[in-house]
Amino acid sequence: MASSVPEVRRLPAQRELRVASWLRAAGAAALAAAVAAAAFLAVDGVRREPAVAALAAVLVAALLLLLAQRSAGRALASENRRLTAAAATATRELRASRARIAASAERERRRIERDLHDGAQQRLVALRIELELAEELIGRDPSLAAERLRELEREVDEALEELRALAHGVYPPLLADRGLVEALRASAAHAALPVELDATGVGRYSPEIESAVYFCALEALQNACKHAAGADRVAIALDGRSGWELRASVTDDGARLPAGRLAPGAGITNMHDRLAAVGGRLEIGPAPGRGCAVRIRVPVPLPVRRPPGRPR
Amino acid sequence: MSGTVTVLAVDDQEVFRRTARRLLAAAPGFEQVGEAASGPEALRLAAELRPDLVLLDVRMPGMDGIETARRLARSGVGATVVLISLGELPDPVSLRSVGAAGCLRKQDLSVRALDRAWAAATGGAATDAPRGRSAPP
């Protein structure tokens, strides 16, 4: 599921292979020189022409070099085939992940449309109808009409609140304004279980990274609240100290995750894809002791070093 | 046709069912006899309550309003079906093909619009209850 790219890990093999083929060639040359020397020594008593011995030695060396090169060529060709296959697999994985990201964006758009249709739009249409009813009522029963109008005011408030919540779901304003820690702290305050949030060295990152980590951590928190049997609390940890990687974990203290129970549902696939889109990865496993831990890692650009001595 | 038109309102949205209750309560000559939140519930209640008019939302999860209208027509309960929609209205051909008598945009629903839709659907037989307001020209 985590989209590792095999050919990147195997790059050193090419260099090793080249070194190996050179070593083989050098070995062959040394062997040839040894053969030539031995031949020269063996025929010492016979008094052969040194030029003939030298020629024989050069011929043997050339033959051995040729053989070494051919075997190295074959090894290289096989390695190339393996790398090509690995690249094809990686490309397939990447395409599948991209298709899933596109599909999930599409699903998200449809969800927003449905939420707007079922929520604010329905309320506004209902208000439109009821305002007309209230208008008719004014002539007949002004005090009842006034009461109805007050009700409608409350309904306007509800419609506004629904729109606000929907906009918040699309992109939480707190995340844009104050960053990951504050946004997660605010969301955690409304969770069904008590949440302990611990953040170290977390700065501001690009909106894509911040929203990917925010929504995945939130999804993990909601999963823990919903599914973790016997959990009393959830711990969220954010760690950006390394400077090149942002780590987040959501850990509950519920029942230990039985092996194989975690069938990846749509929520988890979404998390994987959302993180993969920013080069991150997700691991879900048992937490130390008890419970379940969701670990998120996202590479972040190294902080820009400012010239020393210049205040920001 | 007696003076009062009995109505079954069908919508999956609670917000809208509440508005339909208020609208029908305020509409002289109409009386709401039931409400349903889904197509299957509408079919069951229509068979049980035998309403004169079914106000039927087009967009519902599962069995939508179009399919519900088709099944209502086939079930022979004999109710006049008026489809209501928040979005685009179904075209007249598909309206006729599912046996619906008319359609209305949700945002246009009012006592007068209800009255006009009923009159149009039943060939001009408007309710004979006294109107709260004069009808527009």
Show the domains of chain B with their CATH numbers.
5-121 (3.40.50.2300)
A2 or A100: which leads in pLDDT: A100
Q: CA–CA separation, A153 vs B80, rounded Å?
A: 35
The question of ipTM being above 0.85 is answered as no
Query: Does residue A136 carry a pLDDT above 70?
Result: yes
User: In 3-state terms, what secondary structure has residue A4?
Assistant: coil
Q: Where along chain A do its domains lie?
A: 6-102, 105-171, 175-299
Residue keyed to tokens 């408030």 = A157
**Contact B17/A at CB under 8 A:** no
CA dihedral in degrees (A58, A63, A65, A69; nearest 10)?
160
Fold of the A105-171 domain: 1.20.5
Kindly list the residues from chain A whose CB atom is less than 8 angstroms away from the CB atom of residue B133. 136
Q: Which of A241, A243, A251, A240 is nearest to A283 (CA)?
A: A251
Ramachandran angles phi, psi of A239, nearest 5°: -135, 115
C-alpha distances (whole Å) from B30 to each of A85, A137, B7 are: 73, 17, 7
CB A21 within 8 A of CB A76: yes
B86 close contact with A: CB closer than 8 A: yes
Q: What is the structure's pLDDT at B51? A: 96
pLDDT for position A101? 81
CB contact under 8 A, B23 and A140: no
Give the neighbor-by-neighbor strand order of the sheet with A292-299: A195-200, A234-239, A245-252, A292-299, A281-286
CA-nearest of A178, A169, A294, A280 to A225 is A294
Separation CA B35–CA A163 (nearest Å): 27
Which residues in chain A have Cβ-Cβ distances shorter than 8 Å to B59?
117
Identify the CATH number of the domain defined by range A175-299: 3.30.565.10
Does pLDDT of A5 surpass 50?
no
pLDDT band with cut points at 50, 70 and 90 for residue A103: confident
The residue written with tokens 């006049």 in the block is B80
CA distance A139 to chain B (A): 10
Partner-chain contact B22 A130, CB within 8 Å: yes
pLDDT in tens, A206-244: 998 999 999 999 999 988 888 877 788 999 999 999 989
Annotate B32-61 with DSSP letters as a single string. Answer: EEEEESSHHHHHHHHHHH--SEEEEES--S
- Tens of pLDDT along A262-309? 556 777 888 888 898 888 999 998 888 788 899 999 999 876 555 555
User: Is residue B7 pLDDT above 90, yes or no?
Assistant: yes
**pLDDT at B134 (0 to 100):** 40
Q: What whole-number percentage of chain A has pLDDT above 70?
A: 80
Residue A24: CB partners within 8 Å, gap ≥ 6?
A68, A71, A72
Region A121-133: mean pLDDT is 91
Instruction: Report which of residues B89 and B73 the model is more confident about.
Output: B73
CB contact at 8 A, A1 and A284: no
- Identify the pLDDT of residue A79: 92
Higher pLDDT, B131 or A224: A224
> Which residues pair with residue A220 across a beta bridge?
none
**Average confidence score pLDDT of chain A:** 82
Same fold, A105-171 and A175-299: no
Confidence check: pLDDT of A9 > 50: no
Banded model confidence at residue B10, pLDDT cuts 50, 70, 90: very high
**With an 8 Å Cβ cutoff, is B21 touching chain A?**
no
B86/A132 touch (CB, cutoff 8 Å), yes or no? no
A39/A21 Cα distance (integer angstroms): 27
Is residue A143 over pLDDT 50?
yes
At residue A142, what are phi and psi to the nearest 5 degrees? -55, -35
C-alpha distances (whole Å) from A78 to each of A7, A14, A291 are: 15, 11, 46
The predicted structure's pLDDT at residue A7:
41
pLDDT band at residue A78 under the 50/70/90 scheme: very high
What pLDDT does A299 receive? 94
- How confident is the model over A10-21, as a mean pLDDT? 61
pLDDT at residue number A45: 56
Q: Indicate yes or no: CB of A136 within 8 angstroms of CB of B109.
A: no
